[in-house]
Structure 1
Amino acid sequence: MTQLNFIEQGKRVLDIERQALTEIVQYLDENFNRACQLMYQCHGRIIVVGMGKSGHIGNKIAATLASTGTPAFFVHPGEASHGDLGMITRDDVVMLLSNSGETSEVLNIIPVIKRIGAKMIAMTGNPASSMAKWADAHVCIKVSQEACPLGLAPTASTTATLAMGDAIAVALLETRGFTADDFALSHPGGSLGKRLLLCLKDIMHSGDATPIINDKQCIKDALIEMSAKGLGMTAIVDDNNQLAGLFTDGDLRRILEQRVDIHSTLISTVMTRSCTTATADMLAAEALNIMENKRINGLIVIDDNQHPIGALNMQDLLKAGVL
């Protein structure tokens, strides 16, 4: 087979699977709505069950649900018949996956699920199948043909099932008001989680690196401190080391236009008194939102006694991957 044949065969497969996705749009109907309602109202977990290729797809659907605000896990039907049915309670919703709707390993556990009292959702390609009839809701994933030329290997049908599972998961995500912060809580090891769960205490300049001068000092002293610390600002404190104000590069430009004597003018006369501050436990993502909304380039971090304990600017958020 030539390289051209490989490419043409690949295009044929993708065309068939693309068509399959187009076909299943019609099944986003009241049955789909009913299935989503059952899962949304579930007080337990979503248990996804499937055999063979449907099982592999079920594993992914369960993982997607779990990471987007709907607690779920996968149970193999063979293992379910040998003890794992004990994982299912009456508060759960069981999602059964089978293209034919007649997979024996799945059918065998339905009477027990019925007896337990858990609700059932069937996702099959046959609305007249046993699973479809016995389920509390049936979501159809019927496709006109498989991409496999023999019509044997599940291809377009598994793609359709996976896509329908994504449709359910995202519909539930949006209904629950699931946020990026919620997503980060279940992905603490990922780059998104690291960014979203980062606190200011993890990235702020603290100790001797914090730009601070006393309000009895002059503008010249503020400029020296700002140059030494390199954050484009300095905190101004009173004799009790409490934050009295802030002086920034922007403030400097404004006073230079007024021809103020930087050697004799006290910083307290030109500083910004009502400045925006942050706390060490504030999420970096929250600090970014504050800085963007207020159109400022930096924040002074204070403790419960209004003492400056750190500082950061947009460059620090950029380096941390928050921006």
Structure 2
Amino acid sequence: MKNMHAYLLSGKNTISTEAEALVSLAARLDDTFIKAVEILLACKGRVVVTGIGKSGHIGRKIAATLASTGSPAFFVHSAEAVHGDLGMVTGEDVVIAISYSGQSNELSTILPVIRRLGTKVIGIGGNPSSDLAKMSDIFLNAHVEKEACPLGLAPTASTTVTLALGDALAVACLEARHFGASDFARSHPGGALGRRLLTHVYDVMRQGDDLPITTPDTPLTQALAIMSSKRMGMTCVIDKHGKPIGIFTDGDLRRLIQKEGDIRHYLIKDVMSAQPKSIASDALAVEAASVMETARVSHILVTDSNGVLIGALHMHDLMTAKVI
């Protein structure tokens, strides 16, 4: 139990130390941060993030965050840059160079070459008097009073602060570019948000020969055969202009049998539900899901700008497309 208490205390101390470092960072952000954001926004090429060791790991995440929030970016390992990867950098790029000590041999080797290209350099480190600070157009101070590591050796608070600075740059650029949810979705087409914001009704609706359609005077028995063959659990009822005037579902059928018993003499117009829910084909699929959920129905019809039936959706179609 004594050891367990020590573990808990250690965890709390680590988090508190890093939280204090973040609060201190926020308090000292100044015009240099504004200038760094302006350099990133003016970039005509790519943002190239570079670093080595733990700074390299943090740099990879910063590059990934920038790239997914509207600032095209990639990571180049400083050691690899020394041996050829520096050829990826152009004069139209912006380099974010990360080194807490600011004395990385690899950065000290490549930054003069980068500067000769005319490339702007944003340095992030913990020593404003370091070589990195001197070779940067803008230097962002990531200094921390102490690391969370009790030995003061393992980068902990300093890497957290560096990561937060990268996030701050990315978010400031995102907001300046008015980068919205739809833009984010285009960067994440395989994710849940991407599917919700990029999938339209026309992408998932049933149409053509897959669509169960009847006219008002269709006998119910014939309508049931159409429903069975199309396997959608309903049939759309349209008028002579192709506009939907009703819908008849498996649920309607069960309720009708329970109430009437013999249903063979009915026409579909006698038993259909009038004024079915419909949606435009260019609406987002998630909007269709919302309408269906609100109305507590499993189907929704799809119409064109003239109100003509062109498709239909079952809730299962949205589930299959992973929209819901």
TM-score range, shorter chain: 0.7 to 0.9
Pairwise CA distance, 1:57? 0.4
Name 2:135's counterpart in structure 1: 134
Equivalent residue for 1:234, pick from 222, 233, 236: 236
CA–CA distance in 2 between the matches of 1:154 and 1:237?
A: 72
Name 1:178's counterpart in structure 2: 179
Q: How does 1:147-226 map to 2 (within 5 A)?
A: 147-206=148-207, 210-214=211-215, 217=217
Name 1:255's counterpart in structure 2: none
CA–CA distance in 1 between the matches of 2:276 and 2:321?
A: 29
* Unaligned 5+ runs, structure 1: 253-262
CA–CA distance in 2 between the matches of 1:170 and 1:81?
A: 30
Q: How does 1:103-142 map to 2 (within 5 A)?
A: 103-142=104-143
C-alpha offsets along residues 90-147 of structure 1, whole Å, 9 cap, x if unaligned? 1100001111222221121111111100111011112232322332222111111001
1:81 aligned onto 2:82? yes
* Unaligned 5+ runs, structure 2: 253-265
For the structure 1 residues 117 and 265, does the alpha-carbon distance in structure 2 shift closer, same or farther, using more than 3 Å as the test? closer
For the structure 1 residues 50 and 264, does the alpha-carbon distance in structure 2 shift closer, same or farther, using more than 3 Å as the test? closer
CA–CA distance in 2 between the matches of 1:129 and 1:3?
A: 41
SS in 1 for 2:103: coil
For the structure 1 residues 286 and 272, does the alpha-carbon distance in structure 2 shift closer, same or farther, using more than 3 Å as the test? closer
Pairwise CA distance, 1:82? 1.5
CA–CA distance in 2 between the matches of 1:175 and 1:139?
A: 19
Name 1:19's counterpart in structure 2: 20
CA–CA distance in 2 between the matches of 1:231 and 1:193?
A: 29
Q: Which residue type is aligned with residue 201 of structure 2?
A: L
Pairwise CA distance, 1:302? 4.7
Q: Is the 8 A contact 2:196 2:284 kept in 1?
A: no
C-alpha offsets along residues 53-89 of structure 1, whole Å, 9 cap, x if unaligned? 1011001110111111111011111111121111111
SS in 2 for 1:7: helix
Q: Is the 8 A contact 1:246 1:275 kept in 2?
A: no
For the structure 1 residues 24 and 246, does the alpha-carbon distance in structure 2 shift closer, same or farther, using more than 3 Å as the test? farther
For the structure 1 residues 97 and 288, does the alpha-carbon distance in structure 2 shift closer, same or farther, using more than 3 Å as the test? same
Name 2:34's counterpart in structure 1: 33
Pairwise CA distance, 1:175? 2.0
For the structure 1 residues 284 and 273, does the alpha-carbon distance in structure 2 shift closer, same or farther, using more than 3 Å as the test? closer
For the structure 1 residues 103 and 306, does the alpha-carbon distance in structure 2 shift closer, same or farther, using more than 3 Å as the test? same
CA–CA distance in 2 between the matches of 1:152 and 1:273?
A: 68
Q: Is the 8 A contact 1:92 1:118 kept in 2?
A: yes
CA–CA distance in 2 between the matches of 1:235 and 1:312?
A: 15
CA–CA distance in 1 between the matches of 2:278 and 2:82?
A: 65
- Aligned-residue Cα RMSD (Å) equals 3.9
With structure 2 as the length reference, what TM-score do the two structures score?
A: 0.77
SS in 1 for 2:243: strand
CA–CA distance in 2 between the matches of 1:159 and 1:227?
A: 60
